Amino acid sequence: MVRRRCYGVTTVVSSPSTSRRLVRRALIYAMGARPNFVKMAPVIRRLRERLPDARHVVVHTGQHYDSMMAEAFIEELNVPEPDYVLGVGSGSHAVQTARVMARIEPVFEAERADLVLVPGDVNSTLAVALVAAKLGIPLGHVEAGLRSFDRTMPEEINRIVADEFSDYLFIHCEDARENLRAEGIASERIHFVGNTMIDSLVSVEPRFRELDSAAKLGLARGQYLLVTLHRPVLVDGPLLREVLDQLGRIASELPVVFPAHPRTRKMMARMPVAPGIHVLDPRGYLDFLSLEADAAAVLTDSGGVQEETTYLGVPCFTLRDNTERPITIRAGTNTLLGLAAESIADIPAALASPDGQRRPALEGWDGHAAERIADVIATALDAAQETAVARHIPV
């Protein structure tokens, strides 16, 4: 028997004397930044269960490399040990994207996968999507279709490109479907599966609920503001000092816990920080979720944190002019403050008169999104294999 593998579909060519045998299927999961691990851990787990005979190849691009930005998540979320670590590190957008592209291409050549899966909207996502598209490897995008309609954000460009070249667009809100349809993406490529970031949260909820990470900082549950900020527009310029100033003013009334992203920490190095602001290194996933679930409120510019606070029913204040996650605002948990440091002063009063819905139930934010992704993929791979067999094996 002659086996021939081409990207995309496993084809089988047999001589009339041989029996039907299919080549083992392969899936590549490519990720590289903190939120990527959270979104992909349940997807890898479910696909390994669903397709036990396939090869499941995990690639860590190394976009994030500090142990508390990467390894901590791999361990706490039980992501399998990566088969490839590309070690791309930090750099300008072009340098970082190009390094991922150059280093993943030989992986794709070696592994000859039937499908590549990427999550989210980081530079690693863009780079992997472009290489897969050029090699003609089917591509799936987890968290497709989100749009801030702000092309000054690098993430917006990354999302648009990843979606354009994806064969399987896995969405977790109806806004995403509308955005993709408006860009001319065919309905057959779009699959409403729900939110895999919430799958991860649900899977560890009993563990983080018992942690009481606030107590370790000498704070009471429900009586502090949790802050995370890392967008360049906010932390790379003068706004960061204004934000710290405003946080200092409310900290005597509402203590502030600020686990700072390394980008933010570097910028804060020489800035004065008022007493009452607890600046911390980035937290591990469980520790952070404990702080998030028990906070009086969260101030953030993070995409994932807007979603997690919605699931948890914790008031969230987003220090941005826009969000690609308007569903969190409609749910009543998230308030868009604008890119205006002075609006932080209004947070204590807003908390005194809460009007948001607590723990809204959103379709597909239920802990089972990755199972639905696995269903779609398993069905599609089976169909592709059947087609290959029908084309190449005389019956």
Site string for ligand UD1, 201-240 (x = CB under 6 A): -----------------------------x----------
Contact predicate 319/300, CB 8 Å: yes
3-state helix, strand, coil in the chain (%, to 5): 45, 15, 40
Calpha distance 137→88 (Å, rounded): 22
Kindly tell me which residue out of 114, 155, 324, 371 binds ligand UD1, with binding defined by CB under 6 A. Answer: 155
Query: Nearer Cβ to ligand UD1, position 302 or 385?
Result: 302
Q: Does 228 bind ligand UDP (CB under 6 A)?
A: yes
Site string for ligand UDP, 171-210 (x = CB under 6 A): ----------------------------------------
Chain centroid to CA 16: 48
> By C-alpha distance, which of 97, 103, 98, 125 is closest to 35?
125
Q: How many CA atoms lie within 13 A of 107 on its CB side?
A: 25
Judged by DSSP in three states, 116 sits in strand
Judged by DSSP in three states, 317 sits in strand
Kindly tell me which residue out of 28, 31, 34, 226 binds ligand UD1, with binding defined by CB under 6 A. Answer: 34
Contact predicate 317/337, CB 8 Å: yes
Contact predicate 369/193, CB 8 Å: yes
Query: Nearer Cβ to ligand UDP, position 162 or 289?
Result: 289
Kindly tell me which residue out of 302, 309, 335, 385 binds ligand UDP, with binding defined by CB under 6 A. Answer: 302
- Name the residue type at position 382: D
- Name the residue type at position 138: P
Q: Pick what 285 binds: ligand UDP, ligand UD1, none; C-beta below 5 to 8 Å, kind-dependent.
A: ligand UDP
Q: Does 282 bind ligand UDP (CB under 6 A)?
A: yes
Q: Does 308 bind ligand UD1 (CB under 6 A)?
A: no
Calpha distance 81→242 (Å, rounded): 41
Q: Pick what 123 binds: ligand UD1, ligand UDP, none; C-beta below 5 to 8 Å, kind-dependent.
A: ligand UD1
DSSP one-letter code for 211: T
Query: Nearer Cβ to ligand UD1, position 48 or 263?
Result: 263
Q: Does 156 bind ligand UDP (CB under 6 A)?
A: no
Kindly tell me which residue out of 283, 325, 368, 372 binds ligand UDP, with binding defined by CB under 6 A. Answer: 283
Contact predicate 300/337, CB 8 Å: no
Q: Pick what 63 binds: ligand UD1, ligand UDP, none; C-beta below 5 to 8 Å, kind-dependent.
A: ligand UD1
Calpha distance 360→125 (Å, rounded): 30
Q: Does 154 bind ligand UD1 (CB under 6 A)?
A: yes
Rounded least distance, CB 368 to ligand UDP, Å: 18
Contacts for 4 with CB less than 8 Å, ≥ 6 apart: 11, 12, 13
Rounded least distance, CB 328 to ligand UD1, Å: 16
Catalytic residue among 230, 261, 278, 368: 230
Q: Does 122 bind ligand UD1 (CB under 6 A)?
A: yes
Query: Nearer Cβ to ligand UDP, position 133 or 260?
Result: 260
Q: Does 82 bind ligand UDP (CB under 6 A)?
A: no
Query: How many Cβ atoms sit within 10 Å of the Cβ of residue 170?
Result: 29
Kindly tell me which residue out of 27, 30, 38, 229 binds ligand UDP, with binding defined by CB under 6 A. Answer: 38
Kindly tell me which residue out of 289, 293, 347, 373 binds ligand UDP, with binding defined by CB under 6 A. Answer: 289
Q: Does 259 bind ligand UDP (CB under 6 A)?
A: yes
Contacts 24+ apart (CB under 8 A), 87-92: 87/62, 88/32, 88/61, 88/62, 88/63, 88/124, 89/62, 89/63, 89/65, 90/63
| Active-site residue, 230 included | yes
Q: Does 323 bind ligand UDP (CB under 6 A)?
A: no
> By C-alpha distance, which of 260, 261, 238, 258 is closest to 248?
258
Kindly tell me which residue out of 62, 138, 194, 303 binds ligand UDP, with binding defined by CB under 6 A. Answer: 303
Calpha distance 277→287 (Å, rounded): 18
Q: By the criterion CB under 6 A, which residues form the site for ligand UDP?
A: 34-35, 38, 228, 230, 259, 282-283, 285, 288-289, 302-305, 308
Catalytic residue positions?
230
Q: By the criterion CB under 6 A, which residues form the site for ligand UD1?
A: 33-35, 63-66, 69, 90, 121-123, 154-155, 230, 261-263, 266
